[in-house]
Structure formats: structure tokens, C-alpha cells
Structure 1
Amino acid sequence: MNTKLFSRLVFALFMVSTAALAADGLPLVVVKPHAVDLTFPAESLVEAVQQATVGAQVAGRVLEVKADAGQSVKKGELLMRIDAREAEEAARAAEAQYANAKVSYERTKNLVAQKFMSSAALDKARADFDAAGANRAAAGASQSHANIVSPMNGIVARRHAEMGDMATPGKPLFTIYEPGGLRVTASVPQYRLQEMRRVTTARVEFPELGKWVAATAVKLLPTADATTHVSQVRVSLPEVPEATPGMFARVHFVIGQAEKLTVPAAAVLRRGEVAAVYVQTADGRLSLRQLRLGDAVGQGEIEVLAGLAAGDQVVTDPIKAGISLKDLSGKK
């Protein structure tokens, strides 16, 4: 026997066997046509609006680590200390060169005043003195870069170096983000661009958190990727404490409204390709009704194409309904 046909027969027998059982104390919703948002979904990732990667500016071994991933930090707070003895020696050498250039400049200036040297020699001594001063300032700045401090108030998203690692100029050490400002970036295919230019509202779904939030702004970026032919859409979020950069999210862009008969997605019971809901009849009994479903609409709702009528009472917790049916079956 065909597997699909067999599953449908089993499901039909199950519906008949449960149709006469009474339902008491189950959560219900009365279905009826109502205005729902028409949306199209797009996969996206959460990212921070304000984020900084702190890198090393001097070479040296990491001597001390004061912060770790997930830690809140203040602007100017010490995050890491690098062994900067090489920078210290360079600073001392620059200081000595500066002192020597200063003495040479003063001596040359006196000799030029006594007409023992030309003004060209004074110009060269002045240039050497200025260069030595600039070199001293640069060496002093490099020495101060041994202490790595936070450039902003935020949370450490990632630490890229461990104690004992060798830091080199340009090597990332910390990634810090400001938790109050998050957004998601979604990729939209080219054929959707015309309707996307009219989109002003969206809802963002966090499947792992079981949470939906309304976007505060939707911005279509003016460029498209030459390889994939998709455009980026930035969707600003309100404050979502549980969300972190890199988390998966799904953006539902609202493109219009329509009257539809819907049922909560959580109320749908699925057996292979067959979908059904528990319906409480007028005499208080429970019936398992097979449905033909359309697309997901609104917020956690699914369009019903066939199987339900306006005014039907649907059980929103099919697991609890199944438990109730087992209990009632055992009593009979």
C-alpha cells in the first residue's frame, strides 16, 4: 500500500476515534477572518551599531589580561597590559637624541651669531632638532600604548589574545560593542527591491528566544552585491537584552494587509504531510479536523485555506488536548 495513503487512512481513523470525546478546561480560540499583515521573511544576523576592535599598537608579550568575553567595561578601563620594554628603550634612545640635537642646535646658533658658521648650518641644526623632538614624541606615545584601554562603554564580545601571546602592531586584541544599539542586516533578492522601497515597517523574530519585536526603522542600502545580486537591508531594533551580535534572526517585512482566516501556528498538529487542529464542537466535544494551510502570516499565525469555518473553536494547546483524550479514553 502507498505510504502516503496509509498515513492518511491512519489519521482518518484517529479522527473518528476521538470525535466523540468531551473536552473540558482546554485553552480555546475562536477563529474568524481578520486583517493580517502580508509579509515576506528574510534571514538575518544581529549586529552592533557601535562596535570597535581594539588592536595592539606596539610589539610585546601579553603580561596581564584584565577583561574577558561577556564582561561590561567602561571607557578608559584597563583591558590588557603588554610588555613594552622594547618601546621603553626606544623612548630612552629618542630622549638622548633629542638632548644631543638640542645642544647641537644651541651651539650652532651661538657660532652663527659669532659668524664662525653659516646660516645653512643653523638651518640644518634646527631641522635635526625638530626631527629629534618629533621622534621623542612618537616614542613616548608608543610607550603609552603598552596599556590597552577600552575606547567605549560596552561589553566585551570577544577576546582575541591570551596571557603570554605575542602582540604585534595591528593584531586584534578585543572586540567591544555597545549593547543598547543593535540592528539586524538581511539580504533581499533583486526581484523584491521595487516593493522593498515602499516598506517602512517590519517585525523581527528570534526563534531561539521565542520572541518577536517591532523594528524601529527599515533602511534599504543603495548597493547590490555583484555576485549574488542581493541588496542589504538594515533593520534597527529596540532594546533586546537577550540578543547578542551574531545571533540568528528572521525579519518579516510588512508589504500590505488582507482579510484572512488564520489559526495559531502552535495549535497545528502535524503528522507527516497532514496538518490538523483540535476543534471543540457546539456540544462540548472534541474533534480532530484536517486542514489545508497556506502561508505564515501575522505574528505566529498560519492562513487556513480549507477545514475550518468562521466561529469554530480551536484548541490552542494540542499536546494538552491529546493528554486529555488519553485520560478520557482510559476512563471509558
Structure 2
Amino acid sequence: MTKHTVPLLLSALLCSAALARAEVPTLLIEARPVSVSQPAEATVEAVRQATLAAQVAGRVMELNVDAGDRVTRGDVLLRIDAAEASQAVAGAEAGVAQAEAGRIKARSDYERARSLFERKFVSQSALDQARSALDAAEAQVRSAQAGRGQASTVVGYTRIVSPLSGLVAARHVDAGEMAQPGTPLLTVYDPAAMRAVADVSQQRMTALGKVPLRASVELPGSGRWVEAAAVTVLPAADARTHTVQVRVDLPPATLGVVPGSYARVHFLSGESARLVVPSTAVLRRGELTAVYVADDKGGFSLRQLRLGERVGAEGGVEVLAGLHSGETIALDPVQAGIAVSTASRP
């Protein structure tokens, strides 16, 4: 190897590194103002949800829906055996007929007593007794009619209809089972209106400041972030946990969110200048968390970072240590690693 070979080889290596680096997309990292937030664990629930329960005793005769089915308000979801309720209606009808007959007799007796009183054949006391008997018979008719109305209402309770349009979240009974008053039958909810509910300590509520609060909701299951449509702080604290419940409404018709799923609410409390890198630029290998940083030789070097929390909905993550403002990183760590390997070959 001549004395001119080493410079030429070094020049070739630098040229190769520069070409490889030119093919890798990069980003200049600078401190920028980002929203400071305080996260809180939350659970998703439906704003409009109802658990339908039996109001009469009877066997489940007809079950028209199952969990996951879509329903419309007014749809008949389930029927309970109406035989006992129908017998109660028949008994109430008979009671009304009996009371009507009693009223007719009492009125006839009163009219007879009044006629006799006018002709001085009976006393005032006899007339008053006849009038009292007629009043009692009329009251008995009203009572029987009320009983008939109540029995007819009970018959309506054997048809379980949906109080809202939405989805069936759960089915709690099977056809043929015996239902008792208060037995849960079905749970339905409206997926168009969902919210995340978080229990926040009183100290943190004080740190967040006065209402109205602003918040973003992270949905870890799908990796999405959505801006809260509204934040409502309930005006009472739990006496056992000393926390305040905060309801964070999701935007209307947020898809892919079901009641009971996990969410994380980020309450916005101000802004501060921070270094943020795209999460896609971070290389994670076991316990190693690093990025490829552009060096002054036209290539990249792997540098380990200490990261903080995820920042905002754009997929960035805060850098706590390992990177400085003004440095350039590779946006594609895999491509940058290939470029480093290519540049190091002789």
C-alpha cells in the first residue's frame, strides 16, 4: 500500500458514508414549546347506558337479541311469560264487574229510600245510610278500576323494549330461565356518546387550576389520541378515597371504543420548552433505547437516550438526557443502521 492509498481509502469511506447518509431522512432537533399535561388512569363508559331488569316474575319465553346486536329504540328485545299477568287482569276485570253491580244496587236502594223519605215513610237516618252505602259502592268501583289498570300495566312489563338506539353490551339471561323482579336481563348502550371517567386526587385537582379544564384522551388499545369534547368535574369527593370524579367526553361517534376499556386522560396544565423526538425514530433493543445521531463525518452514531412521557397526539416522546438542541437524528433507525454498516465495510 503506497502513501497515497490511505487518503484515497479514507476519502472513499467518507464519500460512501455521505452517500448512505443522504438516503436516510433526518430531522433537526430543537427545543419547542409543548403542552405540559398530567396523566390520569381512566375507564371508558357510555354516556347513555341502561341495564334492563324484570319488573314481574315469569319465565323468559322469547329472546330476540344477543350481545353485540344493534337495536333501535322501541324494539322488543325479550318477552316474559304473561300467563300469570293475564290471569291477574282477568281477576281485576271480574272485580270491576262486581263493583259495578254493587253500585247499581246501592243506587237503586238510595233512590227507593229517597222516595220513601219524601212520602214520610222512612226517617232521615235511613236515607243517610242509603246515601253512605252508595258512596261506598262508588268508591269500590274506583278501587276496582285502579286495580284493573295496575294489572294491565303489569302485562306491559312482560315485553322488554329498548329505551335507546345502540348496541347490546351484555345478555344476562337465557331463554327458559325464571326471572324475578329486579333480575338484570340485558344491558344496552349508545356507542355514539362515550366518555372517559377518571378519579383524581384533590391535590392534583388543585394543581390543575380552575375549571374549565382541557384534556386529551389516549386510547392505548389502538394507539390513538383524541381531544376531549368537554370536561366535567363532579361537585363532590369520594369520602373513602378522597378523590374527585372527572368525566371527559370523547368526540361524537369515536369509533372502536367500548365501555369498560382502559384509557389515559392527559389534563393540560400549561406549556414548556422541551426536546421531543418522534417515537418512530427511537431504536428499542431490550433495555437499550437510542437514536442514530448525525456526526461531522457524514455518517451516524448510535446514542443512548433517557426518555420521558409521550407528548401529544403526534407520536412524539420527550428526551430527558442524551440529546441536545441543534443535533440531527435519523428518522428511520433501521435504514440508518444499514447505512452505518455499509459505510464501515472495507
TM-score by length of 1: 0.86
Amino acid at match of 1:98: V
CA distance in 2, matches of 1:129, 1:109: 13
Which of 242, 246, 255 is the equivalent residue of 2:260?
A: 246
Structure 2 Cα separation of the partners of residues 320 and 91 of structure 1: 80
Distance apart, 1:189 and its partner CA: 1.4
Kindly state the Cα deviation for residue 25 of structure 1 after the two structures are TM-superposed.
4.2
The answer to whether the Cα contact below 8 Å between 1:59 and 1:84 also exists between their aligned partners in 2 is no
Aligned to 2:194: 182
1:53, 1:306 → 2: CA distance? 51
Instruction: Give the Cα–Cα distance (whole angstroms) in 1 for the partners of residues 255 and 283 of structure 2.
Output: 32
| Residues 296-330 of structure 1, C-alpha deviations (whole Å, 9 max, x = no match) | 433433322332233333234435555x3697499
- Structure 1 residue 213, shift from structure 2 partner: 0.2
Pairwise CA distance, 1:212: 0.4
The reply on whether 1:309 has 2:293 as its aligned counterpart is no
Q: How far apart, CA to CA, are the structure 2 residues paired with 1:326 and 1:260?
A: 29
Cα distance in 1 for residues equivalent to 2:155 and 2:274: 68
Query: Which residue is 1:82 aligned to?
Result: 80
Matched, 1:67 2:65: yes
- Letter of the aligned partner of 2:207 in structure 1? E
Question: 1:169-199 CA distances to partner (integer Å, 9 max, x unpaired)?
Answer: 1211111111111111111112112133436
**What is the CA–CA distance in structure 2 between the aligned matches of 1:182 and 1:303, rounded to whole Å?**
30
Which residues in structure 2 correspond to 1:125-204 (within 5 Å)?
125-198=137-210, 200-204=213-217
User: Displacement, 1:331?
Assistant: 7.0
Tell me what 2:100 maps to.
102
Q: Alpha carbons of 1:189 and 1:110: their partners in 2 closer, same or farther (altered >3 Å)?
A: same
User: Could you tell me whether the CA contact under 8 Å between 1:38 and 1:298 is conserved in 2?
Assistant: no
Could you tell which deviates more after superposition, 172-181 or 313-322? 313-322
Determine the structure 2 residue equivalent to 1:7. Answer: none
What residue identity is the alignment partner of 2:177?
Answer: D
- State the one-letter code of the partner of 1:184: A
Structural RMSD (CA) = 2.4
Contact persistence 1:220–1:232 (CA under 8 A): yes
Deviation per CA, 1:56-92, whole angstroms, max 9, x where unpaired? Answer: 1111111111111121111111101111111111111
Match status 1:275 vs 2:289? yes
Shift of 1:50: 1.3
Q: Is the 8 A contact 1:197 1:220 kept in 2?
A: no
- AA of the residue aligned to 1:262: V
Aligned equivalents of 2:334 and 2:150: distance in 1? 70
> TM-score of the superposition, structure 2-length normalised?
0.83
Distance in structure 2 (CA, Å) of the matches to 1:155 and 1:28: 47
Amino acid at match of 2:279: A
Shift of 1:282: 5.1
Q: Which amino acid aligns with 2:156?
A: S
SS state of the match for residue 114, structure 1? helix
Larger radius of gyration: 2
State the 1:119 CA deviation: 1.3
3-state DSSP of counterpart to 1:164: coil
Task: Give, in angstroms, the shift of residue 279 of structure 1.
Answer: 2.1
Q: Quick one: which of 34, 40, 43 aligns to 1:42?
A: 40
CA–CA distance in structure 2, aligned partners of residues 159 and 197 of structure 1: 43
Bigger Cα displacement from structure 2, 309-318 vs 146-155: 309-318
State the secondary structure of the residue aligned to 2:175: coil
The equivalent of 2:30 in structure 1 is 32
Which AA in structure 2 matches 1:314?
I
Structure 2's unaligned 5+ residue stretches are: 1-16, 114-125
Deviations 1:226-249 (A, max 9, x none): 121111111111031111111110
Equivalent in the alignment of 2:303: 289
Q: How far 1:223 moved relative to its partner?
A: 1.3
Mapped contact 2:106–2:130 kept (Cα < 8 A): no
Change in CA separation of 1:208 and 1:320 when aligned onto 2, cut-off 3 Å: farther
Letter in 1 for 2:41: E
Q: Give yes or no for the alignment of 1:235 onto 2:233.
A: no
Amino acid in structure 2 at the alignment position of 1:195:
A
Alpha-carbon distance in structure 1 between the residues aligned to 2:192 and 2:84: 40
Percent identical among aligned pairs is 46
Map of 2:271 onto structure 1: 257
Deviation at 1:269, TM superposition (A): 3.0
Q: Cα distance 1:330–1:286, how it changes in 2: closer, same or farther (>3 A)?
A: closer
Sort the Cα spacing of 1:244 and 1:114 in 2 relative to 1 into closer, same or farther, 3 A. same
The structural deviation recorded for 1:286 is 2.4
Question: Are 1:298 and 2:312 an aligned pair?
Answer: yes
